[in-house]
Amino acid sequence: MALDHRKQEILKAVVDDYIETAEPVGSKNLIARHAFHVSSATIRNEMAELEEQGYLEHPHTSSGRVPSDKGYRSYVDSLLRPRDIPPEEADRIRACLNDCLDEVTDLIRRATSVLSENTGYTSLVLTPQLRKSQLKQIKMLMIEPGRALVVVVLEAGVVKDRLVRIPQMVDSAQLMQVAAAIEEGLSGMKLDDITLVTVASAARKTTIPESVLNQVLYEAYIAIKQADNLEVYMDGSSKMLGYPEFRDINKARGFLDALSRDKLIAGYMNEIGEDEPESLESDRDGSVQSDMPTGLALTHGRNDGRKPAYMVRIGQEIALDGLSDCSFVTTSYRIGDTVAGHMGVIGPRRMAYDKVISHINFIKTALDDRMRKIAGVDTETEEDHR
């Protein structure tokens, strides 16, 4: 079952070469490009066995080999050698994230673009998921008779709002009274646990006629629920057309169609994010760390119990229509100390995993840092934000 050392080396070489050239790799080419001290015939024998074991595939009898999902999986789990991010590139990334406006959405937009630019693939970043965040404040602001703005403040300084209609007869004072009642009753509750009933019972003691009150409460409730509205930022989808696997227009179309169902992808990312293993102790300074990745246990004997901070789905492992020719590397970012949202890179299965993994980890860390500042978790360090 387990591969001996030489097979691993060969598998790694095949995957590396295939990633680079996009051509099925043959035994001769392999020895030409790598310093194996055996003949091509030996390599052939080994490759035949790797194929038998399911790590490689044969497009047709007389062509070179191509990695299977299983081959990629093995590569990613234990063969892959992380790549250092050159300091200038690291600086550029950090600079780009740091010079953003003081807003979460702007930061996320930038992260999305940086992630795609630096990997060369399609990037996806979800806005923070707030279902499990606590409600801190709720304010209602009269805009004009009949219309009000509901402002919902969550922990970690996330603010959402929503314009609503209310009965004309409600006046500003009443509105504030209702908001204050709701806030008193619900403050500290998780968004998930708030229902129309809890809202209503929180505001029971106000002095406003029931029928009018109900409508206001309903709108407040919707606004609260609306607060964990998930959005998807995406960049670089057209980059995919540059890769030979998408030279077939139908494949390309299938891919882009799949991407256009972004809510579906977002749901999937949240789902697989749930069972994401604990992040490794990320060192906060965001320095370029060549020992960053993780699942290297097998090949490099560093199985010290750390789990990877990222997940890789390869080909058929992606449970989304139209993306089974792709690979999907995901991770999550934090606001303060809690996992807030997910981000990922989609590329061809023949993806430069080492590069993507280094970059997504680096950007995740940089994003965490920045998020920490923006969300005001450590407001004590007052910084240059003009």
Which residue, 242 or 305, has its beta carbon nearer to DNA? 242
Which residue, 38 or 95, has its beta carbon nearer to DNA? 38
- What does the chain come to in residues? 386
Side-chain-side CA neighbours of residue 73 (13 Å): 12
> Is 319 one of the binding residues for a second copy (CB under 8 A)?
no
Which residue, 241 or 319, has its beta carbon nearer to a second copy? 241
CA distances (Å), 132 to each of 83, 101, 104, 246, 374, in order?
36, 26, 18, 39, 20
Phi, psi dihedral angles at 310 (to 5 degrees): -130, 165
> Is 121 one of the binding residues for a second copy (CB under 8 A)?
no
Residue whose C-alpha is closest to residue 2's, from 66, 58, 74: 74
Confirm if 372 and 336 have CB atoms less than 8 A apart: yes
Which residue, 38 or 143, has its beta carbon nearer to DNA? 38
> Which amino acid makes up residue 287?
S
Query: Among DNA, a second copy, none, what does residue 259 contact (CB within 5–8 Å per kind)?
Result: a second copy
User: Which residue in 22, 96, 141, 196 binds a second copy (CB under 8 A)?
Assistant: 141
> Is 193 one of the binding residues for a second copy (CB under 8 A)?
no
Binding site for DNA (CB under 7 A): 23-29, 37-42, 44-45, 47-48, 51, 58, 60-65
Q: Which one of the spans 4-12, 16-24, 192-200, 240-248 is the region binding a second copy (CB under 8 A)?
A: 240-248
User: Which residue in 48, 151, 297, 298 binds a second copy (CB under 8 A)?
Assistant: 151
Smallest distance from the beta carbon of 229 to a second copy, in angstroms? 10
Site string for a second copy, 202-221 (x = CB under 8 A): ----------------x---
> Is 162 one of the binding residues for a second copy (CB under 8 A)?
yes
Separation between Cα atoms, residue 196 and residue 198, nearest integer Å: 6
> Is 246 one of the binding residues for a second copy (CB under 8 A)?
yes
Which residue, 253 or 307, has its beta carbon nearer to a second copy? 253
> Which amino acid makes up residue 152?
V
User: Which residue in 237, 282, 289, 324 binds a second copy (CB under 8 A)?
Assistant: 237
User: Which residue in 63, 195, 260, 287 binds a second copy (CB under 8 A)?
Assistant: 260
Confirm if 133 and 349 have CB atoms less than 8 A apart: no
Please tell me what DSSP assigns to residue 134. Answer: B
CA distances (Å), 60 to each of 8, 63, 64, 65, in order?
23, 6, 8, 9
Phi, psi dihedral angles at 131 (to 5 degrees): -55, -35
Smallest distance from the beta carbon of 19 to a second copy, in angstroms? 21
Which residue, 35 or 249, has its beta carbon nearer to a second copy? 249
DSSP of 137-177: EEEEEEEETTEEEEEEEEGGG-EEEEEEE--TT--HHHHHH
Expressed in angstroms, the distance from the first to the final Cα of the chain is 59
CA distances (Å), 113 to each of 15, 97, 248, 313, in order?
28, 10, 26, 22
Which residue, 314 or 367, has its beta carbon nearer to a second copy? 367
Query: Among a second copy, DNA, none, what does residue 103 contact (CB within 5–8 Å per kind)?
Result: a second copy
Query: Among DNA, a second copy, none, what does residue 319 contact (CB within 5–8 Å per kind)?
Result: none
Give me the residues that bind a second copy (CB under 8 A), please: 102-103, 137, 139, 141, 143-144, 146-147, 149, 151, 153, 157, 159, 161-165, 218, 235-238, 241-242, 246-247, 249, 252-253, 256-257, 259-260, 376, 379, 385-386
